[in-house]
Amino acid sequence: MTSLIDVDAAMRDMVEKLKQLCAERNIDKPALVGIHTGGVWVARRLQSLLGWDGPVGELDISFYRDDFTRIGLNPKVKASSLPFETEGRDVVLVDDVIMSGRTIRAAMNELFDFGRPASILLVALMDVGGRDLPIQPDVVGASRRLQSNQRVKLLGPDPLAVELREKTGSS
Amino acid sequence: MPSIDDELSPLQLNRFQQLRHFLTIEGLSRKHLTDILDTADTFIEVGSRSIKKVPLLRGKTVANLFFEASTRTRTTFELAAKRLSADVLNINITTSATSKGESLSDMLRNLEAMAVDMFVVRHAQSGAPHFIAKSVTPRVSVINAGDGRHAHPTQAMLDMLTIRQHKHKFEGLKVAIVGDILHSRVARSQIQALNLLGAEEVRVIAPDTLLPPYIDQFGVKVFSSMKEGMRDVDVVIMLRLQKERMEGALLPSEQEFFRLYGLSQDKLVLAKPDAIVMHPGPINRGVEIESAVADGPQSVILNQVTNGIAVRMAVMSMAMSGQIAELTADEEVA
């Protein structure tokens, strides 16, 4: 299939922006943390392109979603894993697609339960707009506006591709 | 003859076959049990964080209704609910209104009027949690924390989680359950869970006086000798002697029981070298198990306690999720 965006070009662009931002803010060797599932794939790819060492942290925000009282528990919860101290550390939080901002809010709430980071930079491969909350990424690979019946999904982990999907019926 | 489980187990699933109440292992599928274990696995990590809490049940209220004394089980349920950010009420039944003559139904109605979302019930009568689950509103889930001689499903599931952590799978496992099978609701739930999860062989080892009638119909092999029953097992589950439930003398003496059925190092060597030793607690040291074994390298007894919190978090969040799914579907129909 054809990817909606050129993922490799977007990743290269993200790497340059992230390096520049870290330099501006005097951030050295931050911890990369991806949000399950697509965010972890993007974070791992970033880690490799940046040449940073150390493990990539993984967050599953299922226990932090604000819609539990409407839709219940995600049946496929994965354990979060942060194999490093986040207390006092600069963290780069990575997601594949940012839309409403609710996932990022939940991820930041979860991050703070592991300790208080010195700072958090937010990186997203794609920004599709439609924000419900005042949360904006610091680095974005590509931006697209979607129609109300459209959604995007990251396919991966190798190769990474962004698929455009149209919602059908009431689902 | 139909059992309590046969008649009432469908009660604990919603129309989507999701957990709605958690009353017994019977009637659940292997997938239900595996989902509980997988979800519990993800909650174990929460216990290692600097803030051991997730906001899943924030705004929900859980009432612990313990009609029978228990410290460990009540504490782990309380801790599990608090780690899910729920508000917790511990109702001390012996000093509550039921001892002033209020009926159980009136007490439940009052708790429902206080917008309690979940009852955790321990009761000396088999079937009490089922009775309560049948009578509550659709906005309440019921978790069985042990009823009579019938079931103790969360204890069985924390035992399954402990076994899976150490043995990684159930297929091919030989498990011996030793001691007071007759009075043990834990053993009954363990046997059901082990068979459902695919253990190769479940053995019970006990004197005849501590075996329920027709025990062989439960899918177990019965041994009256430790020497024979312990041979080549992967898991040894010792049970507590339920002296408070014994009517009359079922044992010659505790010393005699320990000599024949207590777990000592010389009996443990009959099991596989990497066999794990479990006990639901509280332990009667020197009666069911000698201290050197209870505290020894093959003991996973304290792992069981830790896992109890994660399993109860899983069961509570899944039952609440099942309640929400049902209520949402009802609203869509209305």
Question: Which of the following is catalytic: B122, B188, B240, B312?
Answer: B122
Q: Which residue has the higher pLDDT, B226 or A74?
A: B226
Q: Is the pLDDT of residue B3 over 70?
A: no
Mean pLDDT, chain B, integer: 91
Judged by DSSP in three states, A9 sits in helix
Q: Identify the band that residue B201 occupies on the pLDDT scale cut at 50, 70 and 90.
A: very high
CB B317 to CB A73 under 8 A? yes
What are the residues whose beta carbons fall under 8 Å from the beta carbon of A118, sequence distance 6 or more?
A88, A89, A90
Q: What is residue B2's predicted lDDT score, i.e. its pLDDT?
A: 45
What are the residues whose beta carbons fall under 8 Å from the beta carbon of B103, sequence distance 6 or more?
none
Which residues is A127 bridged to in the sheet?
A98, A143
Q: Which of B14, B32, B46 to mutate to test the interface with A (most CBs of A within 10 A)?
A: B46
Q: What is residue B7's predicted lDDT score, i.e. its pLDDT?
A: 54
Q: Which residue has the higher pLDDT, B164 or A77?
A: B164
How far does the CA of residue A169 sit from the closest CA of chain B (Å)? 16
ipTM of the complex: 0.85
Q: What is residue A169's predicted lDDT score, i.e. its pLDDT?
A: 54
CB A68 to CB B56 under 8 A? yes
Lowest mean pLDDT among A84-88, B97-101, B114-118: B97-101
Distance, in Å, from the CA atom of A152 to the CA atom of B39, rounded to the nearest integer, reads 28
Radius of gyration of chain B from its Cα atoms, rounded to whole angstroms:
20
Q: What is residue A29's predicted lDDT score, i.e. its pLDDT?
A: 87
Which residues is B174 bridged to in the sheet?
B201
Q: Identify the band that residue B282 occupies on the pLDDT scale cut at 50, 70 and 90.
A: confident
How would you label A87-115 residue by residue, b for 16+ Cβ within 10 Å and e otherwise? eebbbbbbbbbbbebbbbbbbbebbebbb
A63, A75, A115 member nearest B35 (Cβ) = A75
CA distances B247 to A53, A124, B106, B108, B243, Å, are 66, 67, 32, 32, 8
- Read off the DSSP letter of residue A88: T
- For A123-158, the pLDDT digits (tens) are 999 999 999 999 999 999 999 998 888 999 999 998
CB A70 to CB B45 under 8 A? no
Q: What mean pLDDT comes out for the span B79-91?
A: 96
Q: Is the pLDDT of residue B273 over 90?
A: yes
Give the tokens for residue B290.
């000698």
CB contacts of A112 in chain B (<8 Å) are 51
How many residues are there in chain B? 334
pTM for the structure as a whole = 0.91
Cβ-Cβ pairs closer than 8 A, A with B, add up to 58
- For A52-77, the pLDDT digits (tens) are 888 999 999 999 998 888 888 888 88
Cβ atoms within 10 Å, residue B202: 24
Q: What mean pLDDT comes out for the span B10-27?
A: 94
Give the tokens for residue B278.
């479990």
